[in-house]
Structure 1
Amino acid sequence: MPLFYQAVEETFKEIPDYRPVFWYVNDGSVDGTLAAIQQLQAQDADVHYIDFSRGFGKEAGMYAGLQNAKGDLYTIMDADLQDPPSMIPDMLKEINNGFEMVGAQRTNREGEPPVRSFFSNLFYKLINRISQTKIVPGARDFRLMTPKVVEAVLAMSERNRFSKGIFGWVGFRTKYLPYQNVERQHGETSWSFSSLFRYSLDGIVDFSDAPLTFVSWLGLASFVGAAIALIVIVVRALTYGDPTPGWPSMVSIFLMIGGLQLFAIGILGRYIGRIYLEIKHRPIYVAREIK
């Protein structure tokens, strides 16, 4: 936390007309994170924090920060310095040029495993093909926003959040500034491959109904294929007879149809599960302390 605070303070020396107000979100951390934030707050009255009652995830943390902060402009940043504070002055210039949201876009993924980079690129290609909401490849949550943008983002109070999609959906005049990937300065990522995969699925389900359309066409294709196969079997039996019982082929067909049905039910279950969680109207986060 002190390293991040110092880096931001150093950056704002370049833009003395602006003063940063910090809102840290402690997402259920059990190490010395909260104590470090409280120590910073004792030194600077512009340091605030939100201490979650447990870990609610990054999406809830961003929502909480935007909801509680008050300012002329807003930015979201990871405290591990993967989001370079040195970009803030350039973002501010674009805001003054008339843009309402200026984001950071990674141009490379150096330091990441090749498999993760491959699937990340595949995800962006897939979701931009099936979704009407444009999601910029390599875009980070790190961005500078006007109050109007933040108000629109907070108005989308859905519990299952995919902020990259939300930022694209709300629109506004937006520009992305490219930058080279920056290695994490401290700490370790909590994002495993499986958690990133689930997060990607959430993004697809939240911003596209293409999977439902896909299983509908898959079911139709399966029905047509089965009908053609049945006609072929009947014609062959009438023409050549059927001396050999056809239980192996029947079992294969049953397994194929059953697998397609389970696959379709699984996709439907994802959407129904999202509806179930939304109608509970649970809060996006619960804070132990906001100070």
Structure 2
Amino acid sequence: MIEGLTFEAAPEAVTRPLVSLIVPVLNEQDAVIPFVQAIDGMVQSQWPVLEDRPRLEIIFVDDGSTDATAAVLRGLCAGDKRVKLVQLSRNFGKEAALSAGLKASRGDAVVPMDVDLQDPPELLRPMIDRWQSGVQVVNARRCDRSSDTMFKRSSAQLFYKAINSLADHPIAEDVGDFRLFDRAAVDALNEMTEHSRFNKGLFSWIGFRTETLDYVRPQRAVGDTKWKFSKLLALAIDGIVASTTFPLRIWTILGSVISLLAFGYAGFLVIRTVLFGVDTPGYASLMAAVLMLGGLNLLSLGLMGEYIGRIAKQVRGRPLYIVADKVGF
């Protein structure tokens, strides 16, 4: 047993539902034990009667950690049968790691969580209560972002406005991966074959009866965030490209409008030349038109490249992730 943990061997009563917690980790050797302790304390306080408690499995997905995270997790697995480990062969990214956890889960309900305790364990009880009342997806929505920096708040607002104005199926604002899924919803997610994953978009696309709980997100308890600006930008681009083809349609519309204007202007030049003769060409206006159209062409090619690149990734048929080892299953 790991010192400080007080897990008890609860009887595996088949009448009690099984709830799977999916926890992707990357270099979180100092955070995993406090997380398990917090879950253990929450379960004992929220469900004081053992027979009323849901059964739990805590599935950690090690996304290619280079520190002692895997060793700590193996120790936890040896000390408690509810703790399980899916170890990926390298770092595939959080979206892939979360997908690996969903695939490995056996629960009647599944809850993705962050190991840093910014997803409060105390919210699990009301989420499970909503699920047991018949709700199939329970979203956890941040109702206060005052702890974020001004840049993070404004960029998040801009992202949600942009994607929800373009996406075929808008995503829930201020809702991350922390939410509860019924087994039927998890099975639907596991059928998704996209290699450029944007899980928030998939969570919205599958539908099902959904309710939302508001909460205040606390500060990170242990460690540092792994989400740098470049990763957040890449995720935002993936989200927009994966959620809609409307940006391509914009260029179809814009190209049609520019073509009509060009034909109209060409007709105007022909008529003016016939009636009034040939003017001296205007270098400035010609260069402005060439540069504008050249810039639009390059921008449209870049946008098409984003979609084509994802098509190439999809048709290669490579797995979304590779599991190097499983412990506790």
Range of TM-score over shorter length: over 0.9
* Inter-partner Cα distance in structure 2 for 1:10 and 1:236: 84
Is 2:83 aligned against 1:50? no
Residue of structure 2 aligned with 1:215, choices 245, 251, 265 = 251
- The alignment covers a number of residue pairs equal to 291
TM-align CA RMSD: 1.7
Residue of structure 2 aligned with 1:3, choices 29, 34, 39 = 34
TM-score normalised to the size of structure 2?
A: 0.84
Match of 1:133 in 2: 169
Task: Give, in angstroms, the shift of residue 245 of structure 1.
Answer: 3.2
Query: Does the Cα contact within 8 Å between 2:120 and 2:217 map onto a contact in 1?
Result: no
SS at match of 1:107: strand
Residue of structure 1 aligned with 2:59, choices 23, 33, 39 = 23
Task: Give, in angstroms, the shift of residue 258 of structure 1.
Answer: 1.5
When structure 1 is superposed on structure 2, of 267-276 and 124-133 the one drifting more is 124-133
* Inter-partner Cα distance in structure 2 for 1:197 and 1:226: 36
Amino acid at match of 1:182: P
SS at match of 1:21: strand
Query: Does the Cα contact within 8 Å between 1:75 and 1:144 map onto a contact in 2?
Result: yes
TM-score normalised to the size of structure 1?
A: 0.94
Query: Does the Cα contact within 8 Å between 1:110 and 1:181 map onto a contact in 2?
Result: no
Amino acid at match of 1:250: L
When structure 1 is superposed on structure 2, of 229-238 and 215-224 the one drifting more is 229-238
Amino acid at match of 2:42: T
Is 2:107 aligned against 1:71? yes
- The gaps in structure 2 that reach 5 residues or longer are 1-31
SS at match of 2:56: coil
Task: Give, in angstroms, the shift of residue 242 of structure 1.
Answer: 4.9
* Inter-partner Cα distance in structure 2 for 1:191 and 1:225: 45
Task: Give, in angstroms, the shift of residue 278 of structure 1.
Answer: 0.6
Is 2:79 aligned against 1:39? no
Is 2:102 aligned against 1:62? no
* Inter-partner Cα distance in structure 1 for 2:151 and 2:274: 53
Amino acid at match of 1:2: I
Is 2:212 aligned against 1:185? no
Task: Give, in angstroms, the shift of residue 201 of structure 1.
Answer: 1.3
- The gaps in structure 1 that reach 5 residues or longer are none
Query: Does the Cα contact within 8 Å between 2:130 and 2:138 map onto a contact in 1?
Result: yes
SS at match of 1:74: strand
Match of 2:18 in 1: none
Task: Give, in angstroms, the shift of residue 235 of structure 1.
Answer: 5.1
* Inter-partner Cα distance in structure 2 for 1:248 and 1:25: 59
* Inter-partner Cα distance in structure 1 for 2:69 and 2:273: 75
> Which of the two has greater helix per residue?
1
Tell me the percent identity.
37
* Inter-partner Cα distance in structure 1 for 2:38 and 2:79: 16
Match of 1:200 in 2: 236
SS at match of 1:4: helix
* Inter-partner Cα distance in structure 2 for 1:243 and 1:134: 53
Task: Give, in angstroms, the shift of residue 246 of structure 1.
Answer: 2.4
